[in-house]
Structure 1
Amino acid sequence: MTPRFAAVLPDLAPWRTSRDFRLLWVQGLITYLGSVMALIALPLQIKELTGSPLAVGAMGAVELVPLVVFGLYGGALADAVDRRKVIVLTEAGLGLLAVLLLLNALLPRPMLWPLYVVAAGVAALAGLQRPALDSLLARIVPHEQLPAAAALNALRWQAGAIAGPALAGLVVAYAGNVPAYATTVGCFLVSVLMCRLLSPMPPVEHAAKPSLRGIIEGARHAWSRPVLLGTYAVDLAAMFFAFPNTIFPFLADELDADWALGLMYSAGAVGSLLVSLTSGWASRTQRHGLLVVFGAAGWGLAMAAAGWTSNIWLVLVCLGLAGAGDMVSGLGRSTIWNQTIPDRLRGRLAGIEVLSYSVGPQLGQVRAGAMAGWTGARPAIWSGGLACVAAVGLLTAALPGLVRYDARTDPDALRRAGASTATTPGQEGAAVER
């Protein structure tokens, strides 16, 4: 293998360095493969029961409040208790909700309201879990390996996102909802067992109990850092305006391409995968704010093109390009968060990140569903993509510090890099800021 070719391949140092990183990587892949079965079966089941784009989009509205409330509380909880316990308990809860979906699907006439109840419960548990998961990365891999770890995590997600939706689409189309939900239950069972193997992840010394005051402290920290604020705002805008996944079943109907539904869900992951497989450059990049901005703008442009064209193959190509842009932006966001946020606030800032990462798509589902019911799926998609590009441009002008971010000169990044070191379970020689 030539040195030039090797330089673009993913950096595997985090995989070699950290046992806990390896466990979380495999566990996350299993969880995703199970979750995507329900992710596709659930909106399709609502579509079958109601025939309404608005009813499908309403899932976002049902999930919104639990996600916000429990996401913020989950951030404070992650800073105050053993993060492993939070992950294990919430993963078990998600598995139980999958059991409820399975039981409802087994009824002679499945009911509609339990689907919304489960969607709200999943949002609540995901909100509790996500900050604990996200705040682990800087604990279990060395500071200098954070960009590589972000790329490897994305590679894991993409592997599941490519295989999962395509497989789930076939399972739901040819076997029905029951096998899809049963697969979800089995995957969560395996995931819980793997999470129990993680090393304990206790809070820092003198950690405060979860409280509104603590949440406000985290929010003030984010508000006082224009770079962090910019990452949250850009991601929120991109997802709100240009996340049309919920209306893909209706887009497939308009294009007379029901066979391509699973491919629509997985096309973005294919684009992301191509970026990840050539992510060796990420370990050498220092201007991560530029990645956030240009990646999000590329996501919006590609989504606009996907909505404009009526050729199903061009739609799939555009969705792939959108996934590539989202991957570039995500690498920038993840690296900035992990390189600049002190460990004592990491859970609370991860809770705020849940708002940008998850609330945006939930609101985006409502926007896309409502507009698709009014104008059709294609106009709902292309207009959202153009609005995304405009919003990213306005936010970049309002928060120029994001574009100027450089890990070699940013005070917070330098402070984290120079933090006192301590050996943590599952990682040899990691930096942990107390």
Structure 2
Amino acid sequence: MRKRRLLADVTPLREPHYRRLWTAGVVTVIGAQLSVVAVPQQIYEITRSSAYVGLTGVFGLVPLVVFGLWGGALADVMDRRKLITITTLGMIATSVLFWIQAALGVNNVWLVLGLFSLQQAFFAVNQPTRAAIIPRLVPGEQLPAANSLNMTVVQFGAIAGPLLAGVLIPSIGLASLYLIDSIALFATLWAVIRLPAIPPTGPTTRAGLRSVLDGFAYLSTQKVLLASFVVDIIAMVFGMSRALFPEIAHETFGDPASGGTALGLLFAAMSMGAVLGGVFSGWLPHVRRQGLAVIVCIVLWGLAMVGFGVAVGFADPDSGPLLLWVALGFLAFGGAVDMVSAAFRSTMLQQVAPDDMRGRLQGVFIVVVAGGPRIGDVLHGAAAFAFGTAVAAAGGGVLVVVGVAVSCLVFPAFLRYRVGRGV
């Protein structure tokens, strides 16, 4: 009994449509994570600058905000199966364009950033739609388990993808990574096509600015949801130091400038921890004080990033092998607690929001979850240029802890939130 409670609850996989989406995701996220490594690595290879790598934050944030909010509104008024099919095709097309420019050896940083923006626009519509579909496929009591399973498979891909990238970049080159991503996306397209029609349940009004503003107006009345977004922004903006990974791998741990094993390990480490957190997530549905659990997890995330920055600060190419594993350990621990936090925050949103508002709030959610790290890329890139990578990483972790403490004072209801009872 205790073992079953500790291990992940796989009950949602009994639902065939959810099971197909989840299974296809295993293939797709591996390919997607190859590109997650390939894009910043290609930019660093062209420019040799973390500041340019940080620009991916700017070029990714704008389409995420605009199309994430609009995409959430579309998900409330369109058939969600049709919308997710269109956006999946768009993501396949942009991956093919990435492959073409790399295969031709164009080496234009602005072209890479422009394609990245286009890809993020399709992603920003796709993700809130996909998340809004889940409560239509599984019962409400299975949502924590379903969210944990989703995050586990995403993080599994985020392990396998970067590790494969670290091995494959020196042997087959960046172009092949983009091609693999393009092919892998067809697995998700197959699963999406097999979904039933998922029409809107509310009034089919136009998905315009008014619809987006209605979503924000509803969110302003839900203090617990609002607080969950605020603390996640703090965690991702100040704590996510991934823009520093190419420079840290090259300058601190001795990778070649074109990428190598240390680069792949750095990108995979958080996801390794997240997968372990997901595998042993059977206890999540039994936690009632989910607000307090989120706060604890984010504080631990901030402390993990402080430890990562300190390890980088003491490392050099000679002592690198030992301190590399210490740094990876801090990243893995951060990934584990972040997975738990994200599972609880997703469940709060899906249980509190009505179906006809769920797409818009998922749009806000994806802007926060994916947009926060984009801002973090810019800030960490600039901070590394001014103070060095170690100070940028450790200082960001300190700001996470301080920011969460302030949030607890501003949103005391979030700390008191209990499942089924609100505050």
| TM-score where L is the length of structure 1 | 0.92
Q: Would you identify which runs of 4 or more consecutive aligned residues in structure 1 move more than 4 Å?
A: none
Aligned residue among 147, 152, 155 for 1:155: 152
Q: Structure 1: how far apart are the matches of 2:202 and 2:404?
A: 39
Output aligned runs, 1:38-49, within 5 Å.
38-49=35-46
Q: Secondary structure at the match of 1:279?
A: coil
Query: Structure 1 vs Structure 2: percent identity of aligned residues?
Result: 36
Q: Structure 2: how far apart are the matches of 1:387 and 1:180?
A: 35
Q: Structure 2: how far apart are the matches of 1:261 and 1:320?
A: 15
Residue 357 of structure 1 is matched in structure 2 by: 369
Residue 8 of structure 1 is matched in structure 2 by: 6
For residue 108 of structure 1, report the CA deviation from its aligned partner: 4.1
Matched, 1:53 2:65: no
Kindly indicate whether the alpha-carbon contact (under 8 Å) linking 1:254 and 1:377 is maintained by their aligned counterparts in 2: no
Aligned residue among 397, 401, 404 for 1:385: 397
Residue 20 of structure 1 is matched in structure 2 by: 17
Deviations 1:229-282 (A, max 9, x none): 011000111100011112101111232242311111111111112221111111
For residue 173 of structure 1, report the CA deviation from its aligned partner: 2.6
Instruction: Mark the runs of 5 or more structure 1 residues left unpaired by the alignment.
Output: 412-434
For residue 213 of structure 1, report the CA deviation from its aligned partner: 1.4
Aligned residue among 86, 90, 94 for 1:93: 90
Residue 191 of structure 2 is matched in structure 1 by: 194
Q: Structure 1: how far apart are the matches of 2:339 and 2:193?
A: 30
Matched, 1:78 2:75: yes
Kindly indicate whether the alpha-carbon contact (under 8 Å) linking 1:288 and 1:335 is maintained by their aligned counterparts in 2: no
**Which letter does structure 1 place at the counterpart of 2:304?**
A
Deviations 1:371-392 (A, max 9, x none): 1111111111000011011111
Q: Secondary structure at the match of 1:7?
A: helix
Query: RMSD of aligned C-alpha atoms?
Result: 1.3
Residue 342 of structure 1 is matched in structure 2 by: 354
| TM-score where L is the length of structure 2 | 0.94
For residue 207 of structure 1, report the CA deviation from its aligned partner: 2.9
Aligned residue among 218, 221, 229 for 2:218: 221
Matched, 1:29 2:26: yes
Residue 423 of structure 1 is matched in structure 2 by: none
Q: Structure 2: how far apart are the matches of 1:127 and 1:179?
A: 25
Kindly indicate whether the alpha-carbon contact (under 8 Å) linking 1:297 and 1:325 is maintained by their aligned counterparts in 2: no
For residue 205 of structure 1, report the CA deviation from its aligned partner: 4.2
Deviations 1:118-176 (A, max 9, x none): 11101111111111011111111101111111111121112211111101221113221
After TM superposition, the structure 1 stretch with the greater mean CA deviation from structure 2, 223-232 or 104-113, is 104-113
Kindly indicate whether the alpha-carbon contact (under 8 Å) linking 1:74 and 1:128 is maintained by their aligned counterparts in 2: yes
For residue 109 of structure 1, report the CA deviation from its aligned partner: 4.0
For residue 69 of structure 1, report the CA deviation from its aligned partner: 0.7
Q: Structure 2: how far apart are the matches of 1:22 and 1:293?
A: 31
Q: Structure 1: how far apart are the matches of 2:58 and 2:79?
A: 31
**Which letter does structure 2 place at the counterpart of 1:4?**
R
Kindly indicate whether the alpha-carbon contact (under 8 Å) linking 1:291 and 1:331 is maintained by their aligned counterparts in 2: no
Q: Structure 2: how far apart are the matches of 1:202 and 1:270?
A: 37
Matched, 1:290 2:292: yes
Instruction: Mark the runs of 5 or more structure 2 residues left unpaired by the alignment.
Output: 256-260, 316-322
Output aligned runs, 1:233-272, within 5 Å.
233-258=230-255, 259-272=261-274
Q: Structure 1: how far apart are the matches of 2:383 and 2:202?
A: 50
**Which letter does structure 2 place at the counterpart of 1:125?**
F
Residue 329 of structure 1 is matched in structure 2 by: 341
Q: Structure 1: how far apart are the matches of 2:215 and 2:84?
A: 21
